[in-house]
């Protein structure tokens, strides 16, 4: 079922993108004076020419990872449910940021070990297996979780949201994301493995070795994105992959957050290149793989803050910039309006 939907995803409206570019170039300001924000408004116009961004939300997808048993994190998996509950109560970082920008927060359990009454459960398993010894999940589980993410995108679109920020929470998910990135990018694990939530240099080296051992054991192929996800991924990454594919299928733009969601976005694009038309980059994460993954996606991030928090915080931070860029796009006079000769490309 998901493959039929994925195959039917079409590129965004190139004519609407081109119109938006002409509008930017006609505005009484230096050409490309708003930089990447101009390109992002053009991209959004290709998804929805009306640029209806008034209603915004962030979807935070939470899951646990069996590889935590290998000592790749500072904290245990119990922290995932604690933070997820804090998000649901409006107390976590992303919840505070979202209130400032007028975005609604939705948090989902797509694979947590623990149950949490305040977090809707959409999971098919309580965390992944330890991929050092066995595949993280079955192929069927990966596909089912991708479909869950697509369903979440549909539900949010049906609720009237014009743009979705992608978020995640899951202790150990920089390990899973780094493992998936190593395969998709075709690079050695140590080049894409970072500190996550504060590992020492020795901890990072250990984390990279665990990933290297897992890749040697499972030998996932970059030509099979779902197989890579099943071998060394996480349920949060799978659901995020589905969120990006669902955004493309149902016609709602999705903002990439940091490393974990960018890896999920890359999986989505490997499954359906047209899905890239419906994604926006937000910030350049502090993780070493972040720049490589965004470059592979052909995207540049407007924000370079050194953030390494997750939850969708970087994606939410993009929202006010988009609002300001859209205000310029809609309200500024043109060169013709003020009787000044237009700038010409040199």
Q: Are 169 and 236 in contact (CB under 8 A)?
A: yes
Of 170, 173, 192, 169, nearest to 182 by C-alpha is 192
CA-CA distance, 286 to 236, in Å (whole number)?
20
3-state DSSP assignment of residue 221: coil
Q: Rg of the chain over CA atoms, in angstroms?
A: 20
CA-CA distance, 79 to 83, in Å (whole number)?
6
Active-site residue, from 155, 296, 311, 341? 311
Of 100, 103, 92, nearest to 58 by C-alpha is 103
Task: Tell the residue number behind the tokens 């920020």, with chain if given.
Answer: 165
Distances (CA, A) of 194 to 65, 208, 249: 17, 9, 33
Q: Are 232 and 214 in contact (CB under 8 A)?
A: yes
Is 42 in the active site?
Answer: no
CA-CA distance, 192 to 178, in Å (whole number)?
6
- Residue 295: count of CB within 10 angstroms of its CB: 11
Tell me which residues are annotated as active site.
311
């Amino acid at each position: 079922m998901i493959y039929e939907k994925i195959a039917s995803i079409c590129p965004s409206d190139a004519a609407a993108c081109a119109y938006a570019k002409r509008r930017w170039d006609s505005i009484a300001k230096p050409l490309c004076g708003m930089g990447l924000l101009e390109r992002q408004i053009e991209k959004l116009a290709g998804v929805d020419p009306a640029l209806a961004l008034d209603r915004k939300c962030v979807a935070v997808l939470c899951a646990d990872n069996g590889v935590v048993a290998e000592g790749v994190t500072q904290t245990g998996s119990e922290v995932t449910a604690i933070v997820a509950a804090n998000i649901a109560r409006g107390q976590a970082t992303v919840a505070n940021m979202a209130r400032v920008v007028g975005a609604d927060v939705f948090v989902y359990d797509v694979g947590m070990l623990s149950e949490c009454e305040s977090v809707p459960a959409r999971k098919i398993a309580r965390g992944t297996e330890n991929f050092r010894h066995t595949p993280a999940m079955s192929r069927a589980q990966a596909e089912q979780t991708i479909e869950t993410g697509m369903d979440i995108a549909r539900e949010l679109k049906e609720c009237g949201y014009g743009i979705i920020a992608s978020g995640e929470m899951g202790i150990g998910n920089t390990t899973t994301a780094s493992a998936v990135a190593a395969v998709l990018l075709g690079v050695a694990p140590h080049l894409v493995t970072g500190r996550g939530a504060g590992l020492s240099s020795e901890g990072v080296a250990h984390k990279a070795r665990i990933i290297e051992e897992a890749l040697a054991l499972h030998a996932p192929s970059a030509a099979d994105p779902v197989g890579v996800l099943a071998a060394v991924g996480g349920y949060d990454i799978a659901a995020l992959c589905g969120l990006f594919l669902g955004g493309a299928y149902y016609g709602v733009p999705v903002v990439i957050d940091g490393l974990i969601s960018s890896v999920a976005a890359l999986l989505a694009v490997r499954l359906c290149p047209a899905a890239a038309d419906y994604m926006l980059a937000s910030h350049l994460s502090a993780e070493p793989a972040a720049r490589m993954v965004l470059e592979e996606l052909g995207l540049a991030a407007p924000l370079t803050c050194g953030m390494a928090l997750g939850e969708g915080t970087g994606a939410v931070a993009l929202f006010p910039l988009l609002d300001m860029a859209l205000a310029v796009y809609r309200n500024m006079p043109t060169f013709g309006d003020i009787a000044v000769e237009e700038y010409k490309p040199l």
